[in-house]
Amino acid sequence: MLAKKLVTAQKRGETRALCLGLGMVTCSMMMYFFIGITIVPFYTKSVWTTETVCKLLKANIKDKVLCPNSEGSEEEDIFSYPCLQVWVNLTASGQEVMLYHTEDTLERNPKCSYVPDKSENSKEVKARIETIASNFKKYQTFPCYYDPGGTQTNVILRRLYPPNGLLFLFLWPTLMFTGGCLIIVLVKISQYFSALSAWQ
C-alpha cells in the first residue's frame, strides 16, 4: 500500500516537472518570437553600424520648433522644444555632418540632434538640452556611429539596439529554453530508470 502511494506521488511529481519544463520551453519560444518581430527588424534596418570618433565643430540651440510625437498625430500631440543642432567632423571621412542622438531622433525630427520626451515639462526640457549642449562643448571628441555604405551622410551618438544589447535580450529566453529542456530530459531519465527498476 505504501509502495503504491509512493509510486503515485512520484508520477504526480514527474507530471508537474514535465509541465514546468514544457511551460518554460513554450514561454521561451514566445519570447524569441516577440523579440524577432519587434526588435530584430529595427536592428537589421539600422545602417549606422561602424563606430568611429567624432570631433565637435559646433553645438547651437536654436529657437523652439514644433515636433509631432508620431506620424499622423493630431494637433494636441504636437509639442515645442528648443532645437539643439550638433555638427561634428567625421574622422573616418573628414566630412562635416550633423549628429543625432539615435536612429529614432532622425525619424522624429531631422532638423534637431535631440528630441525630448513629450512627458517632460518645458523647464525640464530646456535644462536638459542646455546640459547636453554644455557636455558636448566640454568633451570635444567622442565615439559615434556612421553608415559605411554612404546611404546616410549623418551620424548618430548611440544605437538603439547595439549587438551587445541584442545578445543580452536573447540571453534570458535561451536560459529559460535550456532549463526547460534540462527538466524534460531529467524527467524522462527518471521515468526510464523507474521502468527499468520495475521490470527487473
> Cα–Cα distance between 188 and 119 in angstroms, integer?
53
pLDDT in tens, 135-170: 998 888 999 999 888 788 899 999 888 888 888 889
Q: Do 98 and 87 contact (CB within 8 A), yes or no?
A: yes
pLDDT in tens, 59-106: 888 876 655 544 444 444 566 788 899 999 987 677 899 999 998 888
Q: Quick check: 183 pLDDT over 80?
A: yes
- When pLDDT is averaged across residues 47-55 and rounded to a whole number, the result is 90
Q: Quick check: 187 pLDDT over 60?
A: yes
User: CB atoms < 10 A from the CB of 131, how many?
Assistant: 10
Q: Where are the domains of the chain?
A: 21-43+162-191, 50-160
> Cα–Cα distance between 85 and 78 in angstroms, integer?
20
Highest mean pLDDT pick, 30-34, 62-66, 123-127? 30-34
Task: Give me the amino acid identity at 5.
Answer: K
Record the cell numbers describing residue 62, joined without a space: 536654436
Q: Do 157 and 101 contact (CB within 8 A), yes or no?
A: yes
